[in-house]
């Protein structure tokens, strides 16, 4: 997985340089710096990151763990997890505007069509997602809570949950942590992660040729900070990261320009990933699997490289 990191500059409306030309220059600078850094790494080895605006192409610190999880998910992704993913996409399509009627909201219609194509997401789940999205924050006693965990070997974990009975759910978490010899932390974990919004793109809606350079320019104008290239060949996916409160705006910018979005939301990315052996990864995976199987858990994020 390749990562293009970009610290978005501010465009001055009073500048003589046209807006499009300004961002084109920034994009050119990004790839020039990336190419130079890559050549330098080959010649003299990696160096510390520097430069106020652009970080070179690098390997994502969490890619090994992500790949293990993605391979496992591809083999045994259960119906509940796939349903949750598409439900989140449906809710995001409504949240970004256009209403809950798929006849009037093109992005919602695409999200519903993608869910039905899986032959896993039921009509009942789709209708429930539409109802929840319309009700919004009024869902009775439902609130989003972030829980923090500490495991062996310096492993940290953040779980984003939708909870209606917090005390009962905490009791469930304590039983799970006791079983796997983890601990539920009262703080100090979130500070070691960066929360980011993300939008995943698989290609063009019209089936045309996908140009990463053009997509990056559109994403930058939509507020993107990073572009991650994941997968190989026909399964290639581009993930764009933004501030956690801007992912819907970024999603809208990409869709407005004809890009096919297949996932959207927020995630927590570790500042200093840790390396584990295969045996240690398996042990951590056992805890993560049981945690993610809880219906209240929306997502779980670790600091594993």
Give pLDDT tens digits for 154-184.
Answer: 999 999 998 989 999 999 999 999 999 999 9
Structural domain boundaries enclosing 17:
2-59
Q: Decide which of 82, 110, 138 is a domain's last residue.
A: 138
What is the C-alpha separation between 128 and 55, in angstroms, rounded? 42
Q: Is residue 249 a part of any domain in this protein?
A: no
Same domain? 72 vs 117: yes
Give residue for tokens 């789709």. 126
Q: Is residue 146 a part of any domain in this protein?
A: no
* E-strand stretches of 142-296: 143-150, 156-163, 183-185, 193-204, 226-230, 237-242, 259-270
Q: Is residue 203 a part of any domain in this protein?
A: no
What is the C-alpha separation between 150 and 268, in angstroms, rounded? 15
Burial class (CB in 10 A: 0-12, 13-18, 19+), 287: buried
Number of H helices, E strands in the chain: 9, 10
Same domain? 6 vs 28: yes
Q: How many domains does the chain have?
A: 2
Two tokens, residue 304: 């594993």
Same domain? 11 vs 46: yes
pLDDT digits (tens, 9 = 90+) for 87-145: 877 887 887 777 888 888 888 888 888 888 777 778 888 888 888 777 665 455 678 89
DSSP string covering 112-126: HHHHHHTT-S-HHHH
Report residue 67's pLDDT band, with 50, 70 and 90 as the boundaries: low
Same domain? 84 vs 126: yes
Q: Is residue 77 a part of any domain in this protein?
A: yes
Q: Is residue 142 classed as helix, strand or coil in its secondary structure? A: coil
Q: Is residue 37 a part of any domain in this protein?
A: yes
Same domain? 29 vs 82: no
Q: Is residue 6 a part of any domain in this protein?
A: yes
Q: Is residue 51 a part of any domain in this protein?
A: yes
Same domain? 55 vs 77: no
Q: Decide which of 109, 138, 167 is a domain's last residue.
A: 138
pLDDT digits (tens, 9 = 90+) for 209-234: 899 999 999 999 999 999 998 877 66
Predicted local distance difference test score (pLDDT) of residue 25: 59
Backbone angles phi and psi of 56, in degrees to 5:
-70, 165
Q: Is residue 79 a part of any domain in this protein?
A: yes
Predicted local distance difference test score (pLDDT) of residue 124: 82
Same domain? 52 vs 108: no
Any idea what DSSP says for residue 61? T
């Amino acid at each position: 997985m390749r990562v293009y990191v970009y610290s978005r500059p501010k465009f001055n409306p009073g500048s003589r340089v046209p807006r499009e030309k300004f961002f084109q220059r920034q994009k050119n600078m990004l790839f020039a710096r990336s190419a130079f850094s890559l050549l330098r790494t080959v010649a003299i080895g990696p160096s510390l990151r520097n430069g106020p605006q652009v970080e070179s192409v690098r390997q994502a610190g969490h890619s090994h763990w992500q790949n293990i999880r993605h391979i496992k998910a591809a083999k045994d992704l259960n119906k509940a997890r796939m349903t949750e993913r598409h439900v989140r996409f449906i809710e995001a399509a409504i949240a970004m505007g256009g209403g809950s009627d798929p006849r009037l909201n093109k992005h919602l219609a695409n999200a519903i069509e993608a869910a039905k194509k899986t032959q896993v997401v039921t009509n009942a789940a789709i209708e429930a997602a539409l109802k929840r999205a319309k009700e919004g924050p009024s869902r009775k006693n439902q609130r989003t809570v972030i829980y923090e965990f500490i495991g062996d070997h310096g492993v940290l974990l953040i779980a984003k949950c939708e909870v209606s009975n917090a005390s009962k759910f905490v009791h469930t978490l304590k039983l799970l942590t006791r079983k796997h010899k983890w601990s539920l932390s009262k703080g100090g974990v979130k500070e070691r992660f960066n929360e980011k919004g993300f939008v995943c793109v698989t290609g063009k809606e019209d089936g045309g040729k996908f140009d990463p350079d053009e997509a990056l320019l559109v994403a930058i104008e939509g507020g993107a900070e990073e572009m991650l290239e994941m997968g190989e060949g026909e399964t290639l996916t581009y993930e764009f990261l933004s501030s956690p409160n801007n992912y819907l705006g970024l999603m809208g910018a990409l869709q407005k320009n004809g890009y096919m979005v297949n996932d959207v939301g927020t995630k927590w990315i570790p500042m200093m990933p840790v390396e584990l052996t295969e045996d240690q990864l398996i042990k951590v995976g056992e805890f993560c699997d049981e945690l993610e199987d809880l219906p209240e858990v929306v997502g779980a994020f670790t600091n594993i490289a």
